[in-house]
Amino acid sequence: MARPRSEQARQKMLDAATELALDVGIRAFTVDELARRSGVAKTTIYRHFPSKNELIITALDGVTPVPEVPDTGNLHDDLVSFLGNVLPIFASAKLRALFLDVFAAATFDEELASLQASMMDGRAAALLTLIERARTRNEIPAHLDNDTLVELIEGPLIIRALTNPAQLDGLDLEDLAATIIRRMNS
């Protein structure tokens, strides 16, 4: 009879996988190196995670928790809170590089693309809840679809993270939220 999967071994794998992915990126990530760093046998790693991609996405998912869904009663304050929750992900050079690495690799790897899309859908759910609450309060124009709204809200952080990450330091979230709302209503 096989031994039950050890939660302790799983956590050691995920911690080491996160460290390894942040250190070398996903292209240089190997299960051999993960086994060395974690002290967990490759056979145990593969019992927990059937593929390297699943392991990487699970590790990435663990270091970028799903954002909280603020409910302040108004769109502006909800946006300030939401943006404040996700800003550290965009501001971290290592996380930003790892996310870009995953997005680039997913272009050529269907399994990774599917896993990455599933992870991102989980994160989008929080923002979509915020959007639906604002819609219920008539704070968002009815003609704007959810994809456009997500782009308006997350776009400024993504563009700054890609083109000039230094602009994320000291970003005035109050002003950004007000600008986003003005754009929604123009």
pLDDT tens string 36-60: 999 999 999 999 999 999 998 888 8
Q: Rounded mean pLDDT of 61-78?
A: 89
Q: Which residues of 100-134 are buried (b: 16+ CB within 10 A; e: fewer)?
A: ebbeebbeeeeebbebbeebeeebbebbeebbebb
Which pair of tokens denotes residue 185? 């209503």
Q: Domain segments of the chain: what residues?
A: 7-61, 65-184
pTM of the model: 0.82
pLDDT, residue 123, reads 80
Show the 3-state SS of 112-142. Answer: HHHHHHHHHHHHHHHHHHHHHHHHHCCCCCC
Instruction: Give the confidence band of 5 by pLDDT, cuts at 50, 70, 90.
Output: low
State pLDDT tens for residues 110-155.
Answer: 998 998 888 888 788 889 999 999 999 999 998 999 999 999 999 9
152, amino acid identity:
L
Instruction: Specify burial of residue 33 (Cβ count, 10 A radius: 0-12, 13-18, 19+).
Output: middle
Q: Are 13 and 55 within 8 A, CB to CB? A: yes
- Cβ neighbours around 99 below 10 Å, total: 19
CATH of domain 65-184: 1.10.357.10
CATH of domain 7-61: 1.10.10.60
State pLDDT tens for residues 11-30.
Answer: 999 999 999 998 998 889 99
pLDDT, residue 3, reads 53
154, amino acid identity:
E
Q: In degrees to the nearest 10, what's the CA dihedral of 46, 47, 51, 55?
A: -90
pLDDT, residue 144, reads 93
